[in-house]
Amino acid sequence: MRVERRHLTLTLILLFVILEFQDQHICAVKGSSVVIHCSFYRPDNLRVKRVVWGHVKSRHVSGRVIFDSNVRRATTRYQYTGDKYHSCSLKIHKVLQNDAGKYIITFNSFKMDTWRGNAGPTLKVVDLKVLVTKTNGNETMKEGDFVNLTCLNRCDARDPASAFTWFKNGEPINEGPALYLSNISPANSGNYTCSLKTQAGTSSGVMHIDVECEHWLTYCLFLNTAYWTVFTRDILITATVVAVALLLSVTTVTAVRR
């Protein structure tokens, strides 16, 4: 998550309530968790009875209530981490693309007074992307080529500080913003993705790498471990089937002779 920090905290004076948002523009990666930091100050004689958070996706779409302190929900992605005294922060789990938009908070007091912060923060949601750089510049990847994969987080446009984990076929293989594959071979073929190291569920789209084998008989079949594993498996399966068939034949012949 990245936030665009401003020198002055946004402050809204709602009658006798002072409402502050730490950040006016917030950016989050799809699948991550993000916190909208909010605080309020009220006179001692005004007690908050109800807190409501609303979400407006765009100016052309009516808003919806995503949290109401008077309504209990068994499961929700929206978690109110504040209270009714000072903090009014909201945490969104497993951020979706539809979560982008403006967030508005409303307070109700025991005297039925209502305060609403219309100038709430705006959330931007982005996807992680994998950028591929190849030395040969061709679409086909061949043995011996060099391939660089870079994980891009558009929330880090000004401060590229994200920590990434790289996966091949769903298994973690490396960490860092870039993955360097030198002198590649068919063993490097597979599906590559990246995710935020500290945020599970933030996987990028799949980048498929298919390395063309130039020496199939001498390398791909016998020296490449991936091909050799498949080759060995097929031999073992065939040998097992033949052995079982022979055993059944011998058993049948013995039974007939008796």
| Same domain membership, residue 121 and residue 11 | yes
Give me the residues paired with residue 26 across strands: 3, 123
| Same domain membership, residue 173 and residue 135 | yes
Write down the pLDDT at residue 199: 83
User: Which structural domain range is residue 190 located in?
Assistant: 127-214
Q: Taking residues 217-233, report their average pLDDT.
A: 51
- Number of domains the chain contains: 3
Which of the four pLDDT bands, split at 50, 70 and 90, describes residue 218? Answer: very low
Asked if residues 15 and 113 have their Cβ atoms less than 8 Å apart, the reply is yes
Could you give the count of Cα atoms lying within 13 Å of 244 in the half-sphere of its Cβ? 6
Q: How far is CA 82 from CA 71, 91, 147, 202, 254, in A?
A: 15, 9, 47, 26, 81
| Structure token pair of residue 122 | 């705006």
| Same domain membership, residue 90 and residue 163 | no
The answer on pLDDT for 4 being more than 70 is no
Give me the residues paired with residue 211 across strands: 141
Write down the pLDDT at residue 151: 92
Write down the pLDDT at residue 16: 61
Q: Taking residues 142-161, report their average pLDDT.
A: 80
| Same domain membership, residue 252 and residue 142 | no
Domain end: 125, 154, 182, which one? 125
Residue appearing with tokens 């949290």: 67
